[in-house]
Structure 1
Amino acid sequence: MDKPLRVLIVEDSEDDALLTVRLLRRGGYRVEFERVETATAMQTALKKQTWDLAIADYTLPQFSAPAALALLQSMQIDLPFIVVSGTIGEDRAVAAMKLGAHDYLMKGQWARLLPAVERELREARERRQRRMAEQGLRRSEQRFRALIENASDIILLLDRAGSVQYASPSVRRSLDIDPQQTLGQPFADWLHPDDRTPAAKILATVLAADGTVQTAEWRWRHRQGDWRVFEAIVKRFDDATRFSGCVVCARDITARLQIEEMRRALERERELTELKLRFFSMASHEFRTPLSVILMAAQMLEHSEPEWLDAKKLRNLHRIQDAAKSMSQMLTDILTIARAEAQKLEFDPQPLNLFEECRQIVEEMESTDAQQSSSIQFVCSGRGDGVCLDRKLLHSILTNLLSNARKYSPAGAEVALQVSVGEEVVTFEIADRGIGILAGDRDRLFELFYRGGNVGQIEGSGLGLAVVKKCVDRHGGSVLVAGAEGEGTTFVVRIPVTEGDNRSD
Structure 2
Amino acid sequence: MAATRVLLIEDSEDDALLVTGRLRRSGLDIEYERVETAEGMTQALRDSPPEIIISDNSMPSFDARAALALLHATGLDIPFIVVSGQIGEESAAALMRAGAHDFVLKDNLTRLAPAVQRELTEVQERRKRRRAEAALRSTEDRFRLVAEHLKDVVFRYRLGATPRLEYISSAATALTGHSPEQLQSDVELLFAAVDPADRDVLLRSWQSPPEQPLTVRWRLPDGSPAWIEQRLVLVLVDDAAVGEGVLRDITEQVLDARRREELEHQLHQAERLDSLGQLAGGIAHDFNNLLGVISGYVRFVLDDLGEDHPSRQDIENIDHAAGRAAALTRQLLIFSRLQPSQPEVVDLNAVVAEIERLLRRTIGEDIDFRIEVRPTLPPVFIDRSRLEQIVMNLVVNARAAMPGGGRLTLATGTDDDRHVCLTVSDTGCGMTEEVKRRAFEPFFTTRGRGQGSGLGLSTVYGAVTEASGSIVLDSRVGEGTSITVRLPAAVHSAAAQPSGDDDESDLRGDGERILIVEDDDGIRQIACRILSGAGYSVLDTAIRSQALELVRDTGQAFDLLLSDVVMPGMPVTEFLDAVRDARPSMPILLMSGYTADQTANSRPLPDSIPLVTKPFKLATLLRRVKGVLETHRVHTSARR
Q: State which of 280, 300, 303 in structure 2 corresponds to 1:348.
A: 280
Equivalence map 1:385-404=2 (5 Å): 404=358
- Deviation, 1:31, is 1.6
Does the CA-based 8 Å contact 2:176-2:189 persist in structure 1? Answer: no
Scaled by the length of structure 1, the TM-score of the pair is 0.51
SS at match of 2:118: helix
Equivalence map 1:105-116=2 (5 Å): 105-116=104-115
User: For the residues of structure 1 that align with 2:279 and 2:60, how far apart are their CA atoms?
Assistant: 105
* Residue of structure 2 equivalent to 1:229: 227
Gaps of at least 5 residues in structure 2 are: 159-163, 193-198, 236-241, 299-310, 337-353, 363-379, 409-451, 465-486, 488-592, 600-604, 611-640
* Residue of structure 1 equivalent to 2:70: 71
* Residue of structure 1 equivalent to 2:34: 35
Does the CA-based 8 Å contact 1:3-1:29 persist in structure 2? Answer: no
Structure-2 change in CA distance of 1:19 and 1:200 (3 Å): farther
What amino acid maps onto 1:133 in structure 2? Answer: A
User: For the residues of structure 1 that align with 2:386 and 2:22, how far apart are their CA atoms?
Assistant: 110
Encode CA deviations 1:214-263: one digit per residue, 9 max, x unaligned: 965566652214553322456899xxxxxxx9986543113433555687
SS at match of 2:87: coil
* Residue of structure 2 equivalent to 1:444: 398
SS at match of 1:137: helix
What amino acid maps onto 1:105 in structure 2? Answer: V
- Deviation, 1:24, is 0.9
Equivalence map 1:148-167=2 (5 Å): 153-154=151-152, 156=154, 162=165, 167=170
Structure-2 change in CA distance of 1:230 and 1:453 (3 Å): closer
Encode CA deviations 1:381-440: one digit per residue, 9 max, x unaligned: 9xx99x97758x99xxxxx969737979xxxxxxxxxxxxx9984537779xxxxx9xx9
User: For the residues of structure 2 that align with 1:247 and 1:16, how far apart are their CA atoms?
Assistant: 73
Number of residue-to-residue matches in the alignment: 356
* Residue of structure 2 equivalent to 1:257: 254
Structure-2 change in CA distance of 1:426 and 1:100 (3 Å): same
* Residue of structure 2 equivalent to 1:427: 385
User: For the residues of structure 2 that align with 1:124 and 1:222, how far apart are their CA atoms?
Assistant: 57
User: For the residues of structure 1 that align with 2:12 and 2:264, how far apart are their CA atoms?
Assistant: 96
User: For the residues of structure 2 that align with 1:230 and 1:428, how far apart are their CA atoms?
Assistant: 47
Structure-2 change in CA distance of 1:100 and 1:405 (3 Å): closer
Encode CA deviations 1:316-338: one digit per residue, 9 max, x unaligned: xxxxxxxxxxxxxxxxxxxxxxx
Equivalence map 1:320-339=2 (5 Å): none
Q: Does 2:102 correspond to 1:103?
A: yes
Structure-2 change in CA distance of 1:17 and 1:453 (3 Å): closer
- Deviation, 1:96, is 2.1
- Deviation, 1:119, is 1.0
Equivalence map 1:345-384=2 (5 Å): 347-349=279-281, 350-351=284-285, 357=291, 360=294, 376=317, 378=320
- Deviation, 1:163, is 5.4
Gaps of at least 5 residues in structure 1 are: 206-212, 238-244, 274-338, 365-369, 395-399, 409-421, 432-436, 455-465, 479-491
What amino acid maps onto 2:31 in structure 1? Answer: E
User: For the residues of structure 2 that align with 1:25 and 1:129, how far apart are their CA atoms?
Assistant: 27
SS at match of 2:385: strand
User: For the residues of structure 1 that align with 2:45 and 2:76, how far apart are their CA atoms?
Assistant: 9
- Deviation, 1:17, is 2.0
- Deviation, 1:77, is 0.6
Scaled by the length of structure 2, the TM-score of the pair is 0.42
Equivalence map 1:85-484=2 (5 Å): 85-145=84-144, 153-154=151-152, 156=154, 162=165, 167=170, 175=175, 182=180, 186=184, 188=187, 191-193=190-192, 194=199, 217=215, 222-226=220-224, 228-233=226-231, 250-258=247-255, 260=257, 347-349=279-281, 350-351=284-285, 357=291, 360=294, 376=317, 378=320, 404=358, 425=383, 427=385, 443-445=397-399
SS at match of 2:96: helix
Does the CA-based 8 Å contact 1:154-1:167 persist in structure 2? Answer: no
Does the CA-based 8 Å contact 1:190-1:221 persist in structure 2? Answer: no
User: For the residues of structure 2 that align with 1:246 and 1:50, how far apart are their CA atoms?
Assistant: 58
What amino acid maps onto 1:32 in structure 2? Answer: E
SS at match of 1:186: helix
SS at match of 1:223: coil
The percentage of counterpart residues that share the same residue type is 28
* Residue of structure 1 equivalent to 2:496: none
Q: CA RMSD in A?
A: 6.1
Does the CA-based 8 Å contact 2:183-2:189 persist in structure 1? Answer: no
- Deviation, 1:375, is 5.8
What amino acid maps onto 1:65 in structure 2? Answer: A
Encode CA deviations 1:11-50: one digit per residue, 9 max, x unaligned: 2333222211011101222221122222222111111102
User: For the residues of structure 2 that align with 1:85 and 1:255, how far apart are their CA atoms?
Assistant: 75
